[in-house]
Amino acid sequence: MPLGAVVTGAALTLTGQIPAMAADSSAATGSNDEAKSEKANLKSATVKVSDTETATITRKSTAKATKRVTKKVKATAKVTAWSTRTAKETRSVTVTTSAASYDTALAEAKKQARKKAHEKAKSAAIAEAKHQAVAKSKEKAKHRAKDKAESLAWSKFTTKVVDEAADLKGTPYVYGATGPNSFDCSGYVGYVLRQSGVTHLNRTSAGLVSDTKKVSKRAKKKGDLVFFSSGGHVYHVGIYAGNGKIWHAPGTGRSVTKADIWTSSYSVGRVKV
């Protein structure tokens, strides 16, 4: 009769009924009243334990007029193990053993299967960790190359901006003028940026704020725009020249010049290129 078994870790629970191990000897021989004892010979028992840890046992018995009992059981155990080496992997192996009893065969099969499964999982995890490390390294290299390229491009851009700003030194200030012969402050900044390849800029100082990304005063670099404000209103703009100085068109009666930043009431914006 089929039996059901449930394995949890190293525990095995059998369900069902085990067939009788002895039978009436007269039924086995079909002869006189002389009694002969019988034993059921366990021909085979196959146990398969999967990663869900359920098992089935098949038993086949034949009656013989003998007191000899043969017990040779084949057990198959399947165990899943894992190893963590910055990567998690699972591997399953199947091991078949023979022993004098089912419990012994199953225990040995599970022991061997678990060991081999852990070894395979460890190797797979290490291989996967190496693969991830290579991929991560490539990704980092890609980002570094991108950052380097962007940094180089920005450096060239800002150098051009500062050079263009310096070339206009001495150009007179005229309110509302956008160059090239005269400028007001925003007209001057806009003209320099357009000469450096930046288009679609707002006309006024306050409008230019939206054309930039705000950065901290400490992080300002050459080519950034410096906005001066009072009471929340931006009234002047210049181009940062480094070392605490800006290029700007300062006001009526004056001309484009480089000057120190004269107040702490300013903010810094980086042009979106």
- Summarize the confidence of residues 177-182 as an average pLDDT: 96
Is residue 27 domain-resident?
yes
- Give the dihedral sign, CA 118/121/122/123: positive
Q: Buried (b) or exposed (e) across 7-22, using 16+ Cβ within 10 A?
A: beeeebeeeeeeeeee
Give the span between the Cα atoms of 201 and 270, in whole angstroms.
13
Same domain (yes/no): 9, 130: yes
Count how many domains the chain has: 2
CB 55 within 8 A of CB 49: yes
Model pTM score: 0.54
| The predicted structure's pLDDT at residue 218 | 95
| Residue 73 clears pLDDT 80, i.e. is over it | no
Is residue 54 domain-resident?
yes
Closest residue by Cα to residue 69 from 98, 104, 42: 42
More confident residue, 199 or 40: 199
**DSSP letters spanning 113-182:** HHHHHHHHHHHHHHHHHHHHHHHHHHHHHHHHHHHHHHHHHHHHHHHHHHHHHHHTTTPBB-TT-BSSS-
Tell me the pLDDT band of 78, cut-offs 50, 70 and 90. Answer: low
Q: Quote the tokens at residue 94.
A: 């199947």
Give the span between the Cα atoms of 258 and 57, in whole angstroms.
93
Is residue 209 domain-resident?
yes
Phi and psi (nearest 5°) for 183? -145, 155
Is residue 96 domain-resident?
yes
Same domain (yes/no): 7, 117: yes
Is residue 162 domain-resident?
no
| The predicted structure's pLDDT at residue 91 | 75
| Residue 27 clears pLDDT 70, i.e. is over it | no
Same domain (yes/no): 117, 219: no
Is residue 36 domain-resident?
yes
| The predicted structure's pLDDT at residue 63 | 35
Structural domain of 181: 168-271
Q: How far out from the chain centre does Cα 1 lie?
A: 52
CB 271 within 8 A of CB 211: yes
Same domain (yes/no): 10, 100: yes
| Residue 245 clears pLDDT 90, i.e. is over it | yes
Q: Buried (b) or exposed (e) across 189-205, using 16+ Cβ within 10 A?
A: bbbbbebbebeebeeeb
Give the span between the Cα atoms of 155 and 161, in whole angstroms.
10
Same domain (yes/no): 127, 176: no
Is residue 39 domain-resident?
yes
Q: How confident is the prediction for the chain on average, in pLDDT?
A: 75
More confident residue, 243 or 30: 243
